[in-house]
A and B are shown apart, each in its own frame.
Chain A
């Protein structure tokens, strides 16, 4: 048993001893401890240094609001967690943790010079100092700021843990299993409603865990609690979630709960997820979040050993640890007396209670007297002393007029403070509920709700056990409507609960020299906030950002109200007029893993594969992602570079035969009596006269007139079109078509079906394409006259149904073989076999791109960027001139769309044939134009053309159509390249190769 452990107290198991390591030293704790309680049991208060001034800091709370005691926990490679609050870190055997924000050691820290230099680092220091000169940013300011910014040390290895997530629905979600939440759950679940009760602690009970002496329904609190737990556990309609934090409250009663599953275990089975995100949709919500105690603001209130009074009481009653052997108390609230009394009874020496109030309750004074505790009422604390732990406090009387008298020193090894209590309205505020100011509490409480939510207990500003139970029961009953009857609870032994509120405590010293902290985690003092107001910041949101008050990972749980009260005082307005800063999720720091859940590695994004993908993989394809698809990029033979492979694939296709998996093309079946009329309205082209069995290149615009998508469209019958779209545009085009069909033209009898996944598409390109296809096809005459370019036929290939298109995206004789996806692989293999005499060559997307660029065929999204009209792209021919209307038609008539200076698609040939321009490179008129040089366009596509033995490029250039033959310049790193504007078609301009 260590020096500060109190036998017979707390919920820890004295027989379950655990070893743990903190900053390299081994200590002993008990099962049921947190790291904080175990350290305190070993007499360790000094556990870290502060963020800005590197001041020694101790454990200030016993719960989630902890701002000081942040540690790094090391559970092995990929399992390092910085900034863990020691007060909620459950102890397990072998736990290894380290303190933060120091170098080279916690006790001797170089950064503590910031504390001595503190007068030089006021609020807004960074904004004021690191401004000029600009060149200092890279070399001086940024490295310094980077080194000193951030809390703790970020882990570098990939997270080795797994995370789970699930959806849940319930009638009533109750957040917080303290007295109010338990009363709500017991009542709400009586009617059979599906209830989820979530609490962030390892066990339910809330404040009852720290208050064992009080009686409910004639039972000791902990016995009542066990019965309540058993009752709820026995109800099949109740889901009880402990170690589960409600992190955010979103629209329509959607809440995120993070359940911690393994962090409290010494060695968790690797099959267990570390955390689980519950995404809960609740018909009704009851918030019973409780309240957080406020620190008092005085010089030296951050010294190790200074902590919230309620925390001192929790460490004793819940963990069996006294926080000191000579404890002093400073308070403005009754509740701190309870901590003093409990500690005194447990044998911890309690030196003095300093009460700012002149007339504390007589009953409290009498009890203090009986326990031998001195009460200094109407006194203040003006300083603390001690380095690694508090050793003395300086106290002074304050007379009726507020005059501070002569100081006296009191020795102590811990100082408990209480500035009253702040209702936790975080989740209510997430849900956009209005907050009301309660003057008596000097705090905001939930007001008009924005969701189906009720608040109960201390979180609603309803303090006291009996009142919290009653309000919780009423909230639980109300969720059941008129059917619910609130359970009635009787309470005995409830302590008084009242207090007053202070800004900074009165002092006889110069307040501008005081280090009276408000935000302990971000090292913001009262004088920082007053300075911000003096410098002109009036809005609390601005004061917050300027001083960083409330911006640390604790999000101001202990500092928001103190900061607001001091800002309001400085501004000279009442606090509610200054207002509270916005609460934002998550309520407490949350792992990225919990948000990511299953969505990592291969599960991060869907990877779509075609039916031919396995052949490509077996045949050495290098893949590239194209929207969600994995596509074969090129097929290198052994020893080939990408350039060599692509050159070979291009040559083979132009000279003999290439085969390409085009299955990823988007496909939409447009069917119905009005199908042609629908196509007329959607696409720029005219469709009425397109005969069944023929195809046409279709261009789709947005209503703004800009090119959105394109593709070859075949008409199979009067009422049936086979529409293809770009690979990436398939879903978008279908959504656009549905939009117009359902919302603008519901009278049209047309049905749309996505068939992208239904058809495998094999493109055969090259002079020998027909020869390979002929022996395998049945029922289609492939003769050039019977089956001309831009035609579609239905028949069979290899015995399976096919829609055979004669189209070409390479300029060679080309066919696209559509077969049901399940036959894609077998037909592909048959074509490969049949093609062997012609050295059939599989090619990938790179060769496809290069060959189409040689022909000047655009890729929507590469050669267009959402600002390119059909005319800009040189495709005015695709517009059905006589059509009365189509999507985007009216916009093409707007004056700006006809400006001859618009950027227009042209070809570019570099002066040096070996220069391949960078796609995206800017184009200028001359190399010596004045800076800033006017940029007249940019390169959209650029390749080495194997066919021409030189580079080619496509570009968008202002007025480009009228500038053929002119010279432009393309600045790139290291060189300014000269290029000539040309036509966009580089190979076979007459299209002779298609007419065979």
Chain B
């Protein structure tokens, strides 16, 4: 079970959170201008890296805020936790 540091509440058990999805995928501003392929890419295609992954979590059973997490998918190390809108921190591979 992870220990996740909510940027608003501090470290809490994983059971208080729910995983969202890959982070930093902005919803297109004008979906109608996208081709079917472009829209499908936005809708369905996600990274599945072995290594660092930027992803969105929700403190669902806490402050209900969404935030970003940089997590290593092999070691499960959580290197950074940052608010929505903040840029992803650079992490050495």
Enumerate chain A interface residues (CB-CB to B < 8 A). Answer: 250-252, 254, 279, 281, 432, 450, 703-704, 735, 738-740, 742-744, 746, 884-885, 889-891, 893-895
Instruction: Give bound CA distance, A893 to B31, whole Å.
Output: 10
Q: Is the CB of B2 within 8 A of A252?
A: yes
Chain B nearest CB, measured from A220 CB (Å)? 43
Against A, the Cβ 8 Å flags (1 = close, 0 = not) of B52-87 are 000010101000111000000011111000001100
Knowing A704-B43, A885-B31, A891-B39, say if A252 contacts B76 (CB, 8 Å). yes
State which of B2, B39, B78 has its C-beta within 8 Å of the C-beta of A890.
B39
Chain A nearest CB, measured from B71 CB (Å)? 10
State which of B3, B36, B64, B78 has its C-beta within 8 Å of the C-beta of A738.
B64
Q: Which residues of A contact B74 (CB under 8 A)?
A: 432
Instruction: Give bound CA distance, A783 to B34, whole Å.
Output: 50
Chain A nearest CB, measured from B30 CB (Å)? 8
State which of B2, B56, B58, B65 has its C-beta within 8 Å of the C-beta of A251.
B2
Instruction: Give bound CA distance, A739 to B28, whole Å.
Output: 15
Chain B nearest CB, measured from A305 CB (Å)? 45
Knowing A252-B3, A743-B84, A895-B36, say if A890 contacts B60 (CB, 8 Å). no
CB-based nearest B residue for A167: B13
Knowing A735-B60, A738-B58, say if A251 contacts B76 (CB, 8 Å). yes
Q: Which residues of B contact A890 (CB under 8 A)?
A: 28, 31-32, 34, 39
Q: Is the CB of B26 within 8 A of A281?
A: no
Knowing A432-B75, A450-B75, say if A254 contacts B31 (CB, 8 Å). no
Which of A703, A743, A744, A894 has its CB near the most chain B CB atoms (within 10 A)? Answer: A743
17 residue pairs of the A-B complex, CB under 8 angstroms, read: A251-B1, A251-B2, A251-B3, A252-B2, A252-B78, A450-B75, A738-B58, A738-B64, A742-B66, A884-B32, A885-B31, A885-B32, A889-B31, A890-B31, A893-B36, A894-B36, A895-B36
B20 within 8 A of A: yes
Chain A nearest CB, measured from B17 CB (Å)? 11
CB-based nearest A residue for B58: A735
Q: Is the CB of B27 within 8 A of A744?
A: yes
Q: Which residues of B contact A279 (CB under 8 A)?
A: 1
Instruction: Give bound CA distance, A895 to B37, whole Å.
Output: 11
Instruction: Give bound CA distance, A703 to B20, whole Å.
Output: 14
Instruction: Give bound CA distance, A281 to B11, whole Å.
Output: 11
Q: Which residues of A contact B2 (CB under 8 A)?
A: 251-252
Instruction: Give bound CA distance, A659 to B5, whole Å.
Output: 48
Q: Which residues of B contact A742 (CB under 8 A)?
A: 65-66, 84
Knowing A450-B75, A743-B66, A885-B32, say if A891 contacts B84 (CB, 8 Å). no
Against A, the Cβ 8 Å flags (1 = close, 0 = not) of B27-47 are 110111010100110010000
Instruction: Give bound CA distance, A703 to B34, whole Å.
Output: 14
Contacts of B1-25 to chain A: CB distance below 8 A: 1-3, 18, 20
Enumerate chain B interface residues (CB-CB to A < 8 A). Answer: 1-3, 18, 20, 26-28, 30-32, 34, 36, 39-40, 43, 56, 58, 60, 64-66, 74-78, 84-85
Chain B nearest CB, measured from A249 CB (Å)? 11
Closest 3 A-B residue pairs measured CB to CB? A890-B31, A252-B3, A742-B66
CB-based nearest B residue for A256: B1
Q: Which residues of B contact A450 (CB under 8 A)?
A: 75, 77
Chain A nearest CB, measured from B57 CB (Å)? 11
Q: Which residues of A contact B78 (CB under 8 A)?
A: 252
CB-based nearest A residue for B26: A744
Instruction: Give bound CA distance, A757 to B64, whole Å.
Output: 17
Chain A nearest CB, measured from B27 CB (Å)? 5
Q: Is the CB of B66 within 8 A of A891?
A: no
With A252-B3, A743-B84, A894-B36 given, can you name 11 additional A-B contacts, CB distance below 8 Å? A250-B1, A251-B3, A252-B78, A450-B75, A735-B60, A738-B58, A739-B20, A743-B66, A885-B31, A890-B34, A891-B39
Q: Is the CB of A738 within 8 A of B75?
A: no
Q: Which residues of A contact B3 (CB under 8 A)?
A: 251-252, 254, 281
Knowing A742-B66, A743-B66, A744-B26, say if A703 contacts B43 (CB, 8 Å). yes
Q: Is the CB of A254 within 8 A of B1?
A: yes
Chain B nearest CB, measured from A574 CB (Å)? 25
Chain B nearest CB, measured from A429 CB (Å)? 14
Q: Is the CB of A891 within 8 A of B75?
A: no
Instruction: Give bound CA distance, A673 to B35, whole Å.
Output: 33
Chain B nearest CB, measured from A250 CB (Å)? 6
Chain B nearest CB, measured from A528 CB (Å)? 34
Instruction: Give bound CA distance, A895 to B75, whole Å.
Output: 42
Q: Which residues of A contact B36 (CB under 8 A)?
A: 893-895
Instruction: Give bound CA distance, A617 to B77, whole Å.
Output: 51
Q: Which residues of B contact A281 (CB under 8 A)?
A: 3
State which of A251, A739, A885 has its C-beta within 8 Å of the C-beta of B66.
A739
CB-based nearest A residue for B28: A890
Instruction: Give bound CA distance, A890 to B33, whole Å.
Output: 9
Chain A nearest CB, measured from B19 CB (Å)? 12
Q: Which residues of B contact A739 (CB under 8 A)?
A: 20, 58, 66
CB-based nearest B residue for A889: B31
Q: Which residues of A contact B32 (CB under 8 A)?
A: 884-885, 889-890, 893
Q: Is the CB of B76 within 8 A of A735?
A: no
Q: Which residues of B contact A743 (CB under 8 A)?
A: 56, 66, 84
CB-based nearest B residue for A884: B32
Instruction: Give bound CA distance, A839 to B72, whole Å.
Output: 65
Chain B nearest CB, measured from A257 CB (Å)? 14
Instruction: Give bound CA distance, A746 to B85, whole Å.
Output: 9
Instruction: Give bound CA distance, A704 to B28, whole Å.
Output: 14
Instruction: Give bound CA distance, A252 to B26, whole Å.
Output: 30
Q: Is the CB of A738 within 8 A of B1?
A: no
Instruction: Give bound CA distance, A740 to B58, whole Å.
Output: 12
Q: Which residues of B contact A746 (CB under 8 A)?
A: 84-85
Instruction: Give bound CA distance, A314 to B65, whole Å.
Output: 57
Chain B nearest CB, measured from A830 CB (Å)? 36
Instruction: Give bound CA distance, A889 to B34, whole Å.
Output: 12
CB-based nearest A residue for B3: A252
Q: Is the CB of B31 within 8 A of A738?
A: no
Q: Which residues of B contact A885 (CB under 8 A)?
A: 30-32
Instruction: Give bound CA distance, A739 to B23, whole Å.
Output: 12
Instruction: Give bound CA distance, A884 to B30, whole Å.
Output: 8
Chain A nearest CB, measured from B72 CB (Å)? 10
Instruction: Give bound CA distance, A703 to B85, whole Å.
Output: 21
CB-based nearest A residue for B34: A890
Chain B nearest CB, measured from A826 CB (Å)? 32
Instruction: Give bound CA distance, A251 to B13, whole Å.
Output: 11
Q: Is the CB of B84 within 8 A of A894?
A: no
Q: Which residues of B contact A738 (CB under 8 A)?
A: 58, 64-66
Q: Is the CB of A735 within 8 A of B18?
A: yes
Q: Which residues of A contact B58 (CB under 8 A)?
A: 735, 738-739
Q: Which residues of A contact B31 (CB under 8 A)?
A: 885, 889-890
Instruction: Give bound CA distance, A891 to B60, whole Å.
Output: 28
Q: Which residues of A contact B75 (CB under 8 A)?
A: 432, 450
Chain B nearest CB, measured from A732 CB (Å)? 10
Chain A nearest CB, measured from B34 CB (Å)? 7
CB-based nearest A residue for B32: A890
Chain B nearest CB, measured from A715 CB (Å)? 24
